Structure 1
Amino acid sequence: MATFKLEVITPLKKVLEMEVERVILRTSEGDMGILAKHAPLVAELAVGEMKINSEGTEEKFFVAGGFLEISKDRTLVLADEAINIKDIDVEVARKEAELAKQKLAKLKEDRDIAVTQKALQSALTKIGMVENR
């Protein structure tokens, strides 16, 4: 199967750079699959799972927000957060979810509610990914 270069970058570091056969991830418009020679595209990323297939193996990452850019021979994921599922501490994610729920119950302003809802969604997605692998 044909391959293409995948780069995953967060504000803190380059998370991944490798040749891959397929990527499946969640955009603001829904789940998307990417193969070699995909048409050029820019899309907003949503909170969700990214599956990477290469050489018969699959790796899973948690991705929260950012942008996706597909060009001729490269796919670039500029994510607010990207974590290999193996590196997720489910207990920390549970604590993050509980704190977000408590904070959400006390908030009044729409902006604060939206930020806290995103934090809650991120924590719950992490927990679900680890528990369902």
Structure 2
Amino acid sequence: MQFLSSMTLAAALVSAPAAFAQTAQQTAPATPAPAAPMAAPAAPATPAPVTDAEVTQFATAAVAAGKIQNDAAIAADAKTPKIVEAITASGLTPERFNEIAQMLPSDAALNKRVTDAAAALAPAAPTATN
């Protein structure tokens, strides 16, 4: 069951951030080009440390996103808004969800925290009785 939970989480992590990025690109209003050249871009900001509450929120959102992604009854074009809704319902902003998702490949400790939180959300597998 642990492997299945990890697979569901991995699928959600792969699909949810990309799906949100597509929604943001489709719905973002066009911004006019700046009239004057801007100063040199600042160094990318280091994401804030991920709290235990955010780990739980992220795992909740990722599991929900995985279920939505795998639900054949939901039309493909309806999945992205539902995933974004699941992310916000978890208490995270889609931007913070994406920040955390982008940290996972390079942060083994965070990855384990998220995987453990997702496993805790999964219902216990029934045991066979003889």
TM-score (norm 1): 0.30
Give the greater-gyration-radius structure (CA): 2
Using CA pairs below 8 Å that are at least 6 residues apart, which structure has the higher relative contact order? 2
Higher helix residue share = 2
Higher strand share: 1
